[in-house]
A and B are shown apart, each in its own frame.
Chain A
Amino acid sequence: MSGRGNITTVKAGNVALEVERRGAGRPLLLLAGEEQLELDAAFVDALAAKFEVIIPSAPGFGHSERPDWIGSPDDVSYLILDVIAALGLSDVTVVGCSFGGWVAAEMATKNTSAISRLVLVDPYGVKIGGPYDRDVLDIWTEHPVKVAAAKWADPEKNKRDFSKMNDDQLTVVARNLESFARFCWDPYMHNPKLRERLHRVNVPTLVIWGEKDGIVSPAYGEAYAKLIPGATFAIVPGAGHFPHLEKPEAFMETLNGFIN
């Protein structure tokens, strides 16, 4: 992540996290997904026209450090709350995508004093089905071709070209893949406690889901939204697991209806 916005290092407790800031206005904290694809996405520019968009890299993602004690999105959520406090932010709109959505949900169960609104985009994080149900496609044991087909409505169009990346960019790709597994391997893509904590979320919440998400289904999303008091659930037609990347216009329309 270079040459985008203003990049600084923020101390969250003893952990140095990379934080990018773009645009000006009321603060909007964007928690990127596991691949940090949001950093190059068009919808962020649209947000930066109205907000100051603040994008922290979670520990082990981007260029943020990852001490051994951090082992779960639950741990990560405390650090991102520390970032909000360190930057002295208030009235923050928090938008979290996929892995970042899980972290955002964890944060909102802990402390919303500086958070005014919450937007979760195809997040992981809760267990909905029984022990034999696979709520989230097992992206680490399924064939990569099947995973890509589940992730995107149009997998061909969204292939990443690693041959065009320099070593620093590839290092970030590899760190992101590794840290995602570090935090989400077991229990797979959920925190057994989160389901019982979501009732504490006391800010207006919008849950957005890609209609064709094959990683986590819209039915899972709807059940997730029902666990958050007063949350609204919205579908983005024709999009997979990353509706903000695949259908940015429809996504922004849904988002604007909530944040304006």
Chain B
Amino acid sequence: MYAWHFTEMPYPNLPPIESLSTMRVSLANKHFDPKIGADLYNRYLDEYMIADDLGLNMLCNEHHQTATCIDVAAPLTAAILARQTSKGRICILGNPIANRGDPLRIAEEMAMIDCISRGRLDVGFVRGVPYEIFAANTNPTTTVERLWEGIDLVTKAWGAVDEPFNFEGRFTQRRAINLWPRPYQTPHPGIWMTGSSDLENIKKAAARGFVFATFLQPHEKVKWMFEGYRSAYQDTGLPGGGGTAYMPLVYTAETEEEAEKGARELTWYLNAKSEPQYRNPPGYVPVDFNVNALKGTFTGRTDAMRAKTMEFLKEEGVMVYGTPDSVAKQIKRLYDLVGGFDHLLMMQQAGWLDHARTVKSMSLFAKEVYPQIRDLPRTKPLETRAAAE
């Protein structure tokens, strides 16, 4: 089991949340104070460096036009960490390839970071959550197609070492593709992908040997997705080795009381507000999902989570908090409930959770929890038959 530190780099210094209609897309940036921003960026980067010292791996992501995440370019964060850390792996989860629109820029940036870090990079690709559509102005009805065309082009470009090639696809047309540099890892860094409901996408990821990651889901749903992944997984020898990753909110403390307080701070993330039009742009989900939305039976993941108590979220494995022994026990339980997983992605910082308390939790985890779970075996594919593709 590999453990990863993660923060979305939130900007919590906002007017009272009750007074805002949204924290995403259209919250005026007069509410962003660059001086506070400078402190926050440096603090969050410091915490990643501490994670590296503690023996944890580092996971970063990006969002746009939102106070919930001021990391707007995960490759920048990864590049800084590539240079300033030395031990842990660095994973971008992920590059929003459909929204960024230029897969080959991503391919060469990843190759450069992989070289600077001497092969410590894992490269995730994400379709991007619904509200990202607006900042990128991507047509919401074509993001899945863009995602896969982009990933396949990046992978091809990383592996094409003998001569330039051209590409005339549906969304990208390029001549004389010839990456300088090429990745440090051969043939390329491990590839990760996220998902939350689309089983076909999960199977496609498995068939390509990608690590499949999912966030903040009830354990039964996680099990359903991981089993879908494992049933389609065909070859443990594929680049990156495949595997599964799960992200809960994690807070470790010396006492249960202190842990509950810290964990409560993390729920800031679940309570992030946005206006309804940003949550489900037309065509982002398939027609049958939208039929259910019109019937009022499909509301989305975060909305469903928001309404629940912390105790419930703990039971579901969405939140993990407590003393070190309790946290280790909860992770082992989760591991058993979902049929095992390979990467524990920990959102250990959110909202107003300050530097001292974040580092305290990270340190306790690294020193007292990680040794208890590190040797949980890598999961094996349930079946090795070729994925249905």
Chain A interfacial positions (CB closer than 8 Å to B)? 68, 140-144, 162-163, 165, 167, 170-171, 173-175, 177-182, 185-186
CB of A82 to closest CB in B, whole Å: 23
Interface pair A142/B277, CB less than 8 Å apart: yes
How far apart are the CA atoms of A141 and B65 in the complex, in Å? 13
Among the interface residues B26, B293, B294, which one has the most CB atoms of the partner chain A within 10 A? B294
A-B contact pairs, 8 of them (CB 8 A): A140-B134, A141-B277, A162-B295, A177-B283, A178-B141, A181-B139, A181-B281, A186-B137
Q: A170-B294, A173-B294, A186-B137 given as contacts; is B283 within 8 A of A181 (CB)?
A: yes
Q: Is B170 an interface residue (CB 8 A)?
A: yes
Q: Which residues of the partner chain B approach A175 to less than 8 Å between Cβ atoms?
A: 287
Q: Is B376 an interface residue (CB 8 A)?
A: no
Q: Which residues of the partner chain B approach A182 to less than 8 Å between Cβ atoms?
A: 139, 141-142, 283
Q: Is B25 an interface residue (CB 8 A)?
A: yes
Q: A178-B287, A182-B283, A186-B139 given as contacts; is B277 within 8 A of A162 (CB)?
A: no
- Scoring B residues 274 to 299 as 1 if CB is less than 8 Å from chain A, else 0, what string do you get? 01111001110001101101110000
Q: Which of B132-169 contact A (CB under 8 A)?
A: 134, 137, 139-142, 145
A-B pairs, 8 with minimum CB distance? A181-B282, A174-B290, A178-B283, A182-B141, A162-B294, A170-B291, A185-B139, A177-B282
How far apart are the CA atoms of A141 and B291 in the complex, in Å? 21
Q: Which residues of the partner chain B approach A143 to less than 8 Å between Cβ atoms?
A: 21, 275-277
How far apart are the CA atoms of A174 and B145 in the complex, in Å? 19
From DSSP, what is the main secondary structure of chain A's interface residues? helix
Which of A68, A144, A178, A180 makes the CB contact (< 8 A) with B290? Answer: A178
Q: Which residues of the partner chain B approach A165 to less than 8 Å between Cβ atoms?
A: 294
Q: Which of B358-377 contact A (CB under 8 A)?
A: none
Which of A167, A173, A174, A181 makes the CB contact (< 8 A) with B140? Answer: A181
CB of B140 to closest CB in A, whole Å: 6
Apart from A140-B277, A143-B276, 10 more pairs, CB < 8 Å: A140-B134, A141-B278, A143-B277, A144-B276, A163-B295, A167-B291, A171-B287, A175-B287, A178-B141, A181-B139
Q: Which residues of the partner chain B approach A186 to less than 8 Å between Cβ atoms?
A: 137, 139
CB of A253 to closest CB in B, whole Å: 35
How far apart are the CA atoms of A174 and B142 in the complex, in Å? 16
Q: Which residues of the partner chain B approach A142 to less than 8 Å between Cβ atoms?
A: 277
Q: Which residues of the partner chain A approach B170 to less than 8 Å between Cβ atoms?
A: 68
Q: Which residues of the partner chain B approach A174 to less than 8 Å between Cβ atoms?
A: 287-288, 290-291, 293-294
Among the interface residues A143, A165, A175, which one has the most CB atoms of the partner chain B within 10 A? A143
Q: Which residues of the partner chain A approach B293 to less than 8 Å between Cβ atoms?
A: 174
CB of B128 to closest CB in A, whole Å: 15
How far apart are the CA atoms of A185 and B278 in the complex, in Å? 14
CB of B298 to closest CB in A, whole Å: 11
Which single residue of chain A is at the shortest CB-CB distance from B26? A141
Q: Which residues of the partner chain B approach A181 to less than 8 Å between Cβ atoms?
A: 139-141, 281-283
How far apart are the CA atoms of A179 and B142 in the complex, in Å? 11
Which of B25, B145, B287, B295 makes the CB contact (< 8 A) with A141? Answer: B25
Q: Which residues of the partner chain B approach A68 to less than 8 Å between Cβ atoms?
A: 145, 170
Interface pair A171/B282, CB less than 8 Å apart: no
CB of B186 to closest CB in A, whole Å: 35
Q: Which residues of the partner chain B approach A179 to less than 8 Å between Cβ atoms?
A: 141
How far apart are the CA atoms of A140 and B25 in the complex, in Å? 12
How far apart are the CA atoms of A175 and B289 in the complex, in Å? 11
Which single residue of chain A is at the shortest CB-CB distance from B276? A144
Among the interface residues B134, B278, B287, B288, which one has the most CB atoms of the partner chain A within 10 A? B287
CB of A185 to closest CB in B, whole Å: 5
Among the interface residues A68, A162, A171, A174, which one has the most CB atoms of the partner chain B within 10 A? A174
Q: Which of B1-38 contact A (CB under 8 A)?
A: 21, 25-26
Q: Which of B78-128 contact A (CB under 8 A)?
A: none
Which single residue of chain A is at the shortest CB-CB distance from B145? A68
Q: A68-B170, A143-B275, A178-B290 given as contacts; is B281 within 8 A of A170 (CB)?
A: no
Q: Which residues of the partner chain B approach A178 to less than 8 Å between Cβ atoms?
A: 141, 282-283, 287, 290
CB of B137 to closest CB in A, whole Å: 6
Among the interface residues A141, A162, A173, A186, which one has the most CB atoms of the partner chain B within 10 A? A141
Q: Which residues of the partner chain A approach B25 to less than 8 Å between Cβ atoms?
A: 141
How far apart are the CA atoms of A2 and B141 in the complex, in Å? 27
Interface pair B276/A140, CB less than 8 Å apart: no
CB of B146 to closest CB in A, whole Å: 12
Q: Which residues of the partner chain A approach B290 to less than 8 Å between Cβ atoms?
A: 174, 177-178
CB of B281 to closest CB in A, whole Å: 6
Among the interface residues B142, B278, B282, which one has the most CB atoms of the partner chain A within 10 A? B282
